[in-house]
Chains A and B, each alone.
Chain A
């Protein structure tokens, strides 16, 4: 079945460090791919998305490129801030599937000054 695998956390970085959170997927169709972020005490909010191969999603300095050949959608940021501390979820959605999202387990990021 369709699934998403994320790197395990927690990821602990110093401010201004480079961030990569790995995400790979398995899907029978042609999924759209998403990164959601959950700040402490809040629900999930969309960070970025990509709907087809080679698309790059970007927002708030974060980027991820839809790589069909490696079935990956890794999240990157060049210089993290303390305010980026949160849990990050990779997710996929299959066309025709009522826009159901299938989530990875989540990766907790802690950024220290």
Chain B
């Protein structure tokens, strides 16, 4: 069974903290993605990666960075957390560059910044 695992379901962090959200996939997929989900806005792409050590900005990269040192792991980093980054964060992976196959999602991390 294919699996995308996010390290935490719920996180509470303080303003200004550096926050790491971890995602691991076991399907040997090339592509990995970080989205944030907010009511009424759907899912918005933060960053994606199509290969190890490669990264591309999505639609809302400001305030975030990413790391992909290994193919199976894609980390999202909030350099200095702010209250407007309170959201649900979803990691996804998919095979092949340019493929039109489906993406597989993790269960999500609900981050609250206080």
Contacts and interface: CB of A to CB of B under 8 A. Distances in A.
Interface of A: 4, 6, 32, 34, 36, 41-46, 49, 51, 89, 93, 95-106
B98 A99 contact: yes
Contact of B108 (A43, A101, A103, A105): A43
A12 to B, nearest CB: 17
Given A43-B106, A44-B90, A44-B105, A99 B97 contact: yes
B45 interface: yes
Contacts of A42: 107-108
Contacts of B96: 99
B48 A98 contact: yes
Nearest to A89: B42
Given A89-B42, A89-B43, A100 B106 contact: no
A43 B96 CA distance: 22
Interface string B94-114: 101111111101111000000
Contacts of A4: 42
B74 interface: no
A51 to B, nearest CB: 6
Contacts of B44: 103
